[in-house]
Structures are given as C-alpha cells and as structure tokens.
Chain A
Amino acid sequence: MKKRVVITGLGVVAPNGVGVSEFTKALKQGESGISFHQQLKDLNFSCQIGGIPKISEELKSKYFTDLQLRGFNSSGILYGCISGIDAWKDAGFEMNPDSELDYDTGLIFGTGTSGVEKFREAIYKLDDGQVRRLGSTVVLQTMASGVSAYLSGMLGLGNQVTTNSSACTTGTEALLMGFERIQNGKAKRMLVGSCSDHGPYVWGGFDAMRVMTYKHNDKPEQGSRPMSGTASGFAPGSGAGALVLESLESALERGAKIYAEVLGGEVNSGGQRQGGTLTAPNAEAVQRCIKGAIENSGVSSSEIDVINGHLTATSKDALEIENWTKALNKSGNNFPYINSTKSMVGHCLAAAGAIECVASIIQLKEQFVAPNINCDDLHPEIEAIVSKERIPTEKVNISFDVIAKASFGFGDVNACVLFKRYIA
C-alpha cells in the first residue's frame, strides 16, 4: 500500500514577492515582478527586462552566517536556501546548527546551473594564471548540487540529499521524485524545490536564441504575456520555490498544518521524435504525460478544476493549450480555468516548476485563480479552442478541489502533477 503524501510547508523567493505572504498578495493582485535592467542594456541584450527577487543584506544575514557570506556570489543558492529554510520553518521545524541529524527527511533541490557569477570570477583568475588565488568557495558554489549541500547542512537532513536537473521541468520533477520516495516508504519527509540564478550569464544564451522578448524594454511589467496575441518571447526570471512533502501519517501524528495532498503525477520525454526537438515538444508525449498524471492520481479529467500551465509567452503557448484540450478531452466552455504564473514572474527557468507549484498550492489553499496579466488580447489560435472566460485576466474566487500543474523543458522533457485540496 503506497503512502499518501501531503504538503506541510511552503517557501518562495519570486521576482514579485519574497516569502509566502508577499507572494500570495502579489498573485492575488496580479503584480508583475519584471523590471528593466541597465546591465542588460549595457551588454547589448535585445531583451533588457527580467525578474529578480529583492533580497536585502539584512534579510540575507537572517539565513546565512557572516562566514557563509564571505566570498559568496551565487544567487541561485541564495534563493534556494531562503525558500528551503522558510518551507522547513513553515512546516513547524527549526533551523538550529546543533539539531539532531534527521534520517527521516531528505532533500531534492534542482537547478539548471549553479553560481555562474562565481564561475565567471574564477575563470578570470584562472585565465590570468591565478588558480592558487581562487580560495575555498568556488567548488561549493558552482557544483550543481551546491544548493542541496548548503541547505541540507543548515537543516541537518540525513535521508537522500541530491540535485536534479531537467531544464525548465526541474522543480516539478523534483517534487515528483520526493513524492515517490515518501510514497514508497523510503522517507517521512522530503524538502523539494528548485532554484535559478539571475542575470546576463544565465540569460544570455536565451537572448541569443531570440526566445526572449525585445519589444517591451520600455514597459517591462507588460513584457511577460503568456497566451497573448502580442506575445513575442518570454521575459527571463529567477528565484526559488520549496515545499515540504510529508507522509499523511507523519503529518497527522505531529499535528502539522496541511496545505494540500499530492495526488500523483508523471514525468516523461518526447525523445525528440514526432516533431519533438532539443527545443520543441513532441505533442503526443506531452499529452501522454498529462494523461498519465491523471491516471496515476486516480481521478478523471473532469475532476480537474484549474490548470497552472507551463505557458511561457513564446509561439508554443497555443500548442500547449491544444495539448491540454486533447489530453483532457475538453475545450471551449467545458475547459478548466487555466493560468500562467509567468505573466507575473517571467520564466524563472530551472526555478519555474517549483515557484509555480508553490503558486498552485497557494491558489488551491486560498481558493482563487490568479489572474493572467497582460492577456487582454488572447491569442486567436487559443481563443478558437478555449473560451476566453476560462483564461481569466482578473482574480476569480471559486471553490475547487483539484489543480493540475505541468512543466516542460528543453531536451523534450515533461512533468505533470495533480494537487488536491485537503479537508481534515
């Protein structure tokens, strides 16, 4: 008998809100976290806007010691640790350097790349023949599992501690990996999430691919336009999201607050066949992933009330909507509500899945559908298959039970998870 898994803690560091309460407020109000960055302009980027969470030095010092911050230059690890510690405390635990090692809790925290600015510093020194001057901090901040190494040590976690990486699917995949570990009785709790660095050295490659928008440098908050007829590429973001997953029995035993239940999910790959490429999805595989997630959750497609899509504001949005309509066998007025958190935070790349899973749980817990900002001019190809009112541009308060969250990534990889409202 597989164990039921619930969510007992949330943490988030998003461009439009740091911490669950700020982020919730921003989601409800439709606040954009996208702004203009002079540095991108100075470096001749086509897209000069992006989403960067606001972290003060004072806030940093609440999470990191002075020694940890010495020579520290990895924004992804910074965001990951803040969100992870917040989620851990939200679940009712403490951060104490002398805490007893917890063999029942593990950590899967994903990222695309780690500490690119730190790596840049190191490369300048190396090329100058100064390898001996790097100091001790380069490896820990630039290894992919850096965020997991920092976080697990801060919290004293003794179950599996690892980092996954699957492009923009990373966070949602991390959640499903942690879910399965608890389901199978290998851990009581798993802290899961993902993070992404900000800045030109992460975003540059995407700018070069011309997949980021260059048409909104003067109106940054209008730049991220998923599903809009005038969408012209994504606005890059950054940050982290974290969730404490826990077996239902463990959560009940310690009287923990329960946000929602993870019903089930699916991950797969389109194998870069049937129209799938390194950068484009195999539509059949996407539909199969969504259908698999529904089947694994033991529900029917008609029970899905709300979808939090991947929906990045590129030309693939219409294809994603079409895939949902086919996978659910629903369209027009019959289609669930759907939104894209990216309209407010941009595309947070490796962090996107985790930040958006947190957004999905918040909407489920507080019973609202966040607005799709910048989507007053719905793309005609989307409007042809889904009614405009199912894609709200204002917050909608509804009573609902199930939300589906999907993430897709370069390499033709897919992940979909279903969350259900938990009523004690």
Chain B
Amino acid sequence: MTHQELIVKLKAIVSPYVQDEAAFANLNEDTDFVKDLKINSANLVDIILDIEDEFDIRLENEDMEKMLDVKSAMEIVNTKLNS
C-alpha cells in the first residue's frame, strides 16, 4: 500500500469522530487526533477497532498508547501489515 493510499484510508476511518472540520481538511502526517482534530479521547478506542477491521490486523494496548497522531498510526499499521 502506498503512503497516499494509507492516508486516504485513515482519513475515512477517523472522519466520523472529527470535531474540527477545518483541521480535518488539512490533515497530514503531523495531525494529532485529539489536539488538532478535537476527537473525544474516549473515541480513540473506537478508531482503533475500526482500523483493526479495515486492515484485518490486531492492535495491542501498547500500540494504542502510541497511536496519537496520523504519523504514528501509519507506522504501526505498516509494521503490522509487513510482519
């Protein structure tokens, strides 16, 4: 999966939880889920489950703790897909 394809998929996954549409429109690797997109921190676990379903992978508690922005989410998903 290319870098761009992965971003597009992640964007679709986080979309329903976003509370700041302007930040979402400018989403890039440095975008923070809570600080920038104003996603309710409780919804981060829902995003994790949606990512698991989309990519057919399993994310552990340690992965969840790191997955706070687009960049870390991409790294973790790529690692899981390539392992």
> Least Cβ distance of A354 to chain B in Å?
29
In the complex, are the beta carbons of B49 and A66 less than 8 A apart? Answer: no
Report how far A140 CA is from B6 CA in the complex, Å. 32
Is A43 an interface residue when CB atoms closer than 8 A count as contact? no
Report how far A133 CA is from B49 CA in the complex, Å. 7
In the complex, are the beta carbons of B17 and A67 less than 8 A apart? Answer: yes
Is B25 an interface residue when CB atoms closer than 8 A count as contact? no
Is A298 an interface residue when CB atoms closer than 8 A count as contact? no
Interface hits, B1-52 → A, CB 8 Å: 16-17, 42-43, 45-46, 49
Report how far A71 CA is from B43 CA in the complex, Å. 11
| Option from A66, A133, A136, A137 in Cβ contact (under 8 Å) with B16 | A66
Is A135 an interface residue when CB atoms closer than 8 A count as contact? yes
In the complex, are the beta carbons of B49 and A70 less than 8 A apart? Answer: no
Report how far A70 CA is from B49 CA in the complex, Å. 13
Q: How many residues of A contact B (CB 8 A)?
A: 8
Q: In this complex, what residue of A is CB-closest to B45?
A: A136
In the complex, are the beta carbons of B16 and A67 less than 8 A apart? Answer: yes
> Least Cβ distance of A208 to chain B in Å?
36
Q: Which residues of B contact A67 (CB under 8 A)?
A: 16-17, 43
In the complex, are the beta carbons of A135 and B49 less than 8 A apart? Answer: yes
Q: Which residues of A contact B17 (CB under 8 A)?
A: 67
Q: In this complex, what residue of A is CB-closest to B64?
A: A132
Q: Which residues of B contact A135 (CB under 8 A)?
A: 45-46, 49
What is the 8 Å Cβ interface bit string for chain A, positions 35-78, against chain B (1 contact, 0 not)? 00000000000000000000000000000001100110000000
Report how far A274 CA is from B66 CA in the complex, Å. 63
Report how far A71 CA is from B17 CA in the complex, Å. 12
Q: Which residues of A contact B43 (CB under 8 A)?
A: 67, 136
Interface hits, A126-179 → B, CB 8 Å: 133, 135-137
Q: Which residues of A contact B46 (CB under 8 A)?
A: 70-71, 135-137
Q: In this complex, what residue of A is CB-closest to B50?
A: A135
> Least Cβ distance of A64 to chain B in Å?
13
Q: Which of A71, A136, A137 has the most CB of B within 10 A?
A: A136
Interface hits, B34-82 → A, CB 8 Å: 42-43, 45-46, 49
Report how far A67 CA is from B43 CA in the complex, Å. 10
Q: Which residues of B contact A133 (CB under 8 A)?
A: 49
Report how far A170 CA is from B45 CA in the complex, Å. 34
Report how far A223 CA is from B49 CA in the complex, Å. 45
Q: Which residues of B contact A136 (CB under 8 A)?
A: 42-43, 45-46
> Least Cβ distance of B23 to chain A in Å?
16
> Least Cβ distance of A398 to chain B in Å?
52
Q: Which residues of B contact A66 (CB under 8 A)?
A: 16
What is the 8 Å Cβ interface bit string for chain A, positions 180-207, against chain B (1 contact, 0 not)? 0000000000000000000000000000
Q: Which residues of A contact B16 (CB under 8 A)?
A: 66-67, 70
Report how far A119 CA is from B49 CA in the complex, Å. 19
Q: Which of A70, A71, A133, A135 has the most CB of B within 10 A?
A: A135
Report how far A137 CA is from B16 CA in the complex, Å. 14
What is the 8 Å Cβ interface bit string for chain A, positions 250-272, against chain B (1 contact, 0 not)? 00000000000000000000000
- Give 9 new A-B contacts, CB below 8 A, not counting A67-B43, A71-B46, A137-B46: A67-B17, A70-B46, A133-B49, A135-B45, A135-B46, A136-B42, A136-B43, A136-B45, A136-B46
- Top 6 closest pairs, chain A to chain B, by CB: A136-B42, A135-B46, A136-B45, A136-B46, A135-B49, A67-B16
> What are 16 A-B residue pairs whose CB atoms fall within 8 Å in the complex?
A66-B16, A67-B16, A67-B17, A67-B43, A70-B16, A70-B46, A71-B46, A133-B49, A135-B45, A135-B46, A135-B49, A136-B42, A136-B43, A136-B45, A136-B46, A137-B46
